[in-house]
Amino acid sequence: MLSRWGVRTVIADRGRSMKNTIVIDSGTTNTRVYLIDSDEKLLAVSRKEIGVRNTAADGNNGRLKNAVGDGIRSVMADKDITFADIEAIIASGMITSDIGLVEIPHLTAPAGKEELAAGMQKHMLPDVAPVPIWFIPGVKNHDKLDKIENLASMDMMRGEETEITAVLEYADDFDSLLIVLPGSHMKFVSIDNCRKIKACITSISGELLSSITNDTIIADAVKHKYVSDKTYNQEFLQYGYRQAEQYGLGRACFSVRILGQFLVHDENLLANYVLGSVLQTDIQAIRKSEILQTDSNTKVIVAGENVLAKAFADLLKMNTTFRDVSLLRSSQGLPLSVKGALTLWKEREAV
């Protein structure tokens, strides 16, 4: 029997496992739906280039609802399972914002695994799925933005708190920890010795890198190319860093055109220079941030699979006094957002 969801909804054989979990990671531009079995093995994935930006543009969340619902149907149909085989559907990211599916208020830092699990909310969305969806709340630094002087200490996250939960599963003991999550939005998260999110700051360096590479006068010099694992060059990465540190990002980036005209005719080397220049501004932000409260004894974990994470970790090692900088590239085959969501679900179920 087929339901309106396009998959069988009758009760399955009582002997079949009913421990599968669906995890939804929906942000500004993309929505991913994952089907995970009881051994935390990835069974199926659905990816759609739809996020809350579409809600903002359309004035309603219809396309986002469809993307999430279609993703759920897709992963279930891929493995020929029913909702009787699903233990829980868990969602995190911008999907919990005012332009997502359900607005869930931010928790106020400090917030750790216990607080996040307790703050999860269950909602029925019949247009998306015939069973409840559990939404994970985001985290904000504080509620003190009553005057512009407090701007530097105010920030928030939606989705990264779930990734942080996963990263902490791999972190040894520490007094102070800084977790770096590279991407289009770079997130820098301070963790206290109770393993709770203490504060965060955010930059748009990934977006700046994209714009500089594709939409400025130096786009021709780098041939619209980004650094890859194969073209990574630490020397030019560091050179770009030093130029931005001394002369500022604007001058450092224009210097790419000068280098390309007179000295360096390899677009891959110039792309490394640009990457180093852009990331310098983030390391400066970490150094100057009072809310992060880092010092030379702070451990740093840079979490990510791409070359952006490697570059950031290398630059931290070369240009800061942090004595313990490590790169986390894997989460047992699962994305950090999925691993973190499963951890929070187990924590909630254990209460």
- pLDDT per residue, tens digit, the chain (351 aa), is 344 444 443 333 434 444 899 999 999 999 999 999 999 999 999 999 999 999 989 999 999 999 999 999 999 999 999 999 999 999 999 999 999 999 999 999 999 999 999 999 999 999 999 999 999 999 999 988 788 888 999 999 999 999 999 999 999 999 999 999 999 899 999 999 999 999 999 999 999 999 999 999 999 999 999 999 999 999 999 999 999 999 999 999 999 999 999 999 999 999 999 999 999 999 999 999 999 999 999 999 999 989 999 999 999 999 999 989 999 986 567 999 999 999 999 999 887
**Do 188 and 292 have their domain in common?**
yes
Q: Which residues of 161-183 are buried (b: 16+ CB within 10 A; e: fewer)?
A: bbbbbbbbeebeebebbbbbbbb
Quote the tokens at residue 314: 């290398």
Supply the range of the domain harboring residue 121. Answer: 20-170+333-350
- Whether 227 and 307 have beta carbons less than 8 Å apart is answered as yes
CA angle 127, 17, 5 (to 5 degrees): 20
How many structural domains does the chain have?
A: 2
Are residue 256 and residue 318 in the same domain, yes or no? yes
Task: Specify the pairing of strand 299-303 against strand 156-157.
Answer: unpaired
- Together in a domain, 135 and 191: no
**Residues 78, 182: one domain?**
no
In-domain check, residue 13: no
How many secondary structure helices (H) and strands (E) does the chain include?
Answer: 11, 14
Same domain, 130 and 162: yes
Shared-domain flag, residues 130 and 35: yes
User: Is 237 contained in some domain?
Assistant: yes
- The answer to the question of residue 100 being in a domain is yes
**Whole-structure pTM value:** 0.92
CA neighbor of 88 nearest in space, from 333, 331, 341: 341
DSSP 136-192: ---EES-S--SSGGGGGG--EESSHHHHHHHHHTT----SSEEEEE-SSSEEEEEE-
The neighbouring-strand residues paired with 48 are 31
| Closest listed residue to residue 202, CA positions, set 242, 248, 236, 159 | 159
Query: What is the C-alpha separation between 16 and 103, in angstroms, rounded?
Result: 35
Close Cβ partners of 327 (under 8 Å, ≥ 6 residues apart): 301, 302, 303, 304, 309, 310, 313
Residues 164 and 180 in one domain: no
The pair phi, psi for residue 140, each rounded to 5°, is -120, 160
For residues 60 and 201, membership in a common domain is answered with: no
Residue 199, domain CATH: 3.30.420.310
Q: How far apart are alpha carbons 27 and 53 in whole angstroms?
A: 9
What's residue 2's pLDDT? 40
Residue 55 CB contacts under 8 Å (≥ 6 apart), including other chains:
61, 63, 64, 99, 100
What is the amino acid identity at position 119? G
- Within 10 Å of residue 114's Cβ, how many Cβ atoms? 15
How far apart CA 208 and CA 215 sit, in angstroms, is 10
DSSP characters over 76-139: HHHTT--GGGEEEEEEEEGGGSTTSSS--PPEESSB-HHHHHHH-EEE--TTT-SS-EEE---E
91 and 42 part of one domain: yes
Q: Is residue 120 part of a domain?
A: yes
- DSSP category for residue 323: S
